[in-house]
């Protein structure tokens, strides 16, 4: 009770002048915190980054000490694995006591979960920390799909490249220049293997450039449109793979391997979806101090990544408490610290402290409609997967 009184003493004082601090709202959140006490939240999230994993461990310790909520990070390679699990639980009629309490998602996976009615909510507007979120960001749409309060924004992602200035001082500023570089210096460039998230993002960004950001990319894909619009993409990749790392017959498993190959001097560019990842990697000793992140001159493929709760979560109250904490100024400031994770925050900068106030962001390029993702991955695997 002391914990609850302390939390809400601060909360009520901070928001006494706002409509959010009305008694029913405070009482409802108090009830959620009471229900969360002692719960274990199974959080399905990508596990391919040491920096991110360490951050989630820190958040888990804070949630345990403050709210007696246990955060269990279930590391997944691709959140589509979790989507498949939830669809199976739905088909089996498992509408309570589900195996997943919280997911880190966006794009195609959010649309799939939403279309299959796999999500709890709407809950986002009821979070006390929602007050801090920068509403000028596209926090209410996910790859053009309305979020409808079913997922809470967690951070900003942008597809950028990392190079070592000592070995590559003037990196390619477009995919056209990248192909010219690959031909001039064979076996020095590559990208993660789709359907891994970073690999798919690479080919989507490439598709945007080679089609001059065709308006069809913002619409649901059809077979005929796909065949026509993607022709220059496959022509490019056929040329690129012929001079890529290992002859385009093998690809890094993800961004972690991409960064390792860069650090080992095997390739000249690594791919990441965090414009500040280079700083945390340098801090961890995984990249040289001479490495630097940059975006293509046209901009960086950009999106918001989100947190959501399945409809049948066993610990929905604990998940709401966890998400609310992860959206707090304290947690967002730590997440945005360039020496810890460096993930750009979704909060108004006035609420942030330290380096999170000024994390690096580049000019944005919008994601294609989510339906393009599965179509691109399927065709890529058909052409290059064996």
- Do 28 and 126 form a contact (C-beta atoms < 8 A)? yes
Are 87 and 116 contacting, i.e. CB atoms less than 8 angstroms apart?
Answer: yes
CA–CA gap between residue 40 and residue 343 (Å, rounded): 26
Q: Is 157 helix (H, G, I), strand (E, B) or coil?
A: strand
**How many angstroms separate the Cα of 185 from the Cα of each of 175, 179, 241, 252, 266?**
15, 10, 13, 19, 12
Q: State the pLDDT at residue 2.
A: 39
User: In order of start, what are the domains of the chain with their CATH numbers?
Assistant: 2-154+305-358 (3.40.190.10), 158-302+365-384 (3.40.190.10)
Mean pLDDT by 10 residues, the chain (386 residues): 44 48 80 98 93 96 98 94 96 96 94 95 96 92 92 95 95 98 98 94 97 94 96 98 97 93 96 89 88 95 95 98 98 94 94 89 88 95 93
**Pick from 293, 318, 319: nearest CA to 306:** 319
Contacts with 237 (C-beta within 8 Å, 6 or more apart), sequence order: 203, 206, 380, 383, 384
Phi, psi of 21 (to 5 degrees): -85, 20
Is-contact 240 177, C-beta < 8 A? no
User: What does the chain come to in residues?
Assistant: 386
Q: Do residues 145 and 111 touch, judged by C-beta distance below 8 A?
A: yes
Q: What pLDDT does 23 receive?
A: 66
Question: Distance between CA 256 and CA 254 in Å, rounded?
Answer: 6
Dihedral sign for Cα 211, 216, 219, 221, please.
Answer: negative
pLDDT at residue 364, rounded to an integer: 87
pLDDT, residue 227, reads 97
CB atoms within 10 A of CB 22: 11
Please tell me the predicted confidence (pLDDT) of residue 22.
Answer: 54
pLDDT for 75 equals 96
């Amino acid at each position: 009770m002391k914990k609850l009184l302390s939390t809400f003493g601060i909360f009520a004082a901070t928001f006494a002048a706002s409509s959010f601090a009305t008694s029913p709202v405070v009482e409802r959140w108090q009830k959620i915190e009471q229900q969360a006490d002692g719960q274990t939240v199974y959080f399905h999230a990508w596990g391919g980054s040491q920096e991110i994993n360490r951050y989630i461990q820190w958040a888990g310790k804070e949630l345990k000490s403050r709210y007696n909520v246990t955060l269990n990070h279930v590391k997944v390679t691709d959140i589509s694995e979790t989507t498949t699990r939830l669809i199976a639980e739905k088909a089996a009629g498992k509408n309570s006591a589900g195996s997943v309490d919280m997911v880190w998602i966006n794009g195609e996976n959010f649309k799939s979960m939403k279309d299959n009615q796999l999500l709890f909510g709407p809950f986002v507007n009821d979070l006390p920390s929602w007050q801090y979120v920068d509403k000028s960001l596209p926090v209410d749409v996910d790859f053009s799909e309305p979020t409808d309060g079913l997922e809470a924004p967690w951070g900003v992602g942008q597809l950028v490249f990392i190079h070592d200035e000592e070995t590559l001082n003037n990196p390619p500023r477009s995919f056209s220049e990248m192909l010219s570089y690959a031909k001039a210096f064979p076996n020095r460039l590559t990208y993660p293997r789709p359907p891994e998230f970073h690999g798919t993002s690479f080919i989507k960004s490439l598709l945007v450039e080679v089609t001059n950001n065709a308006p069809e990319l913002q619409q649901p894909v059809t077979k005929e449109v796909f065949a026509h619009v993607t022709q220059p993409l496959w022509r490019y990749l056929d040329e690129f793979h012929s001079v890529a790392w290992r002859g385009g017959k093998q690809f890094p498993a993800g961004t972690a391997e991409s960064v390792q190959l860069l650090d080992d001097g095997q390739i000249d560019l690594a791919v990441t979806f965090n414009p500040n990842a280079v700083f945390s990697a340098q801090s961890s000793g995984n990249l040289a101090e001479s490495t630097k992140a940059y975006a293509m001159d046209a901009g960086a493929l950009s999106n918001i990544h989100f947190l959501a709760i399945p409809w049948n979560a066993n610990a929905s109250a604990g998940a709401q408490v966890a998400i609310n904490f992860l959206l707090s100024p304290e947690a967002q400031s730590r997440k945005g610290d360039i020496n810890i994770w460096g993930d750009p925050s979704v909060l108004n900068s006035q609420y942030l402290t330290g380096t999170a106030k000024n994390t690096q962001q580049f000019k944005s390029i919008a994601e294609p409609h989510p339906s393009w993702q599965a179509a691109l991955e399927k065709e890529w695997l058909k052409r290059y997967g064996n």
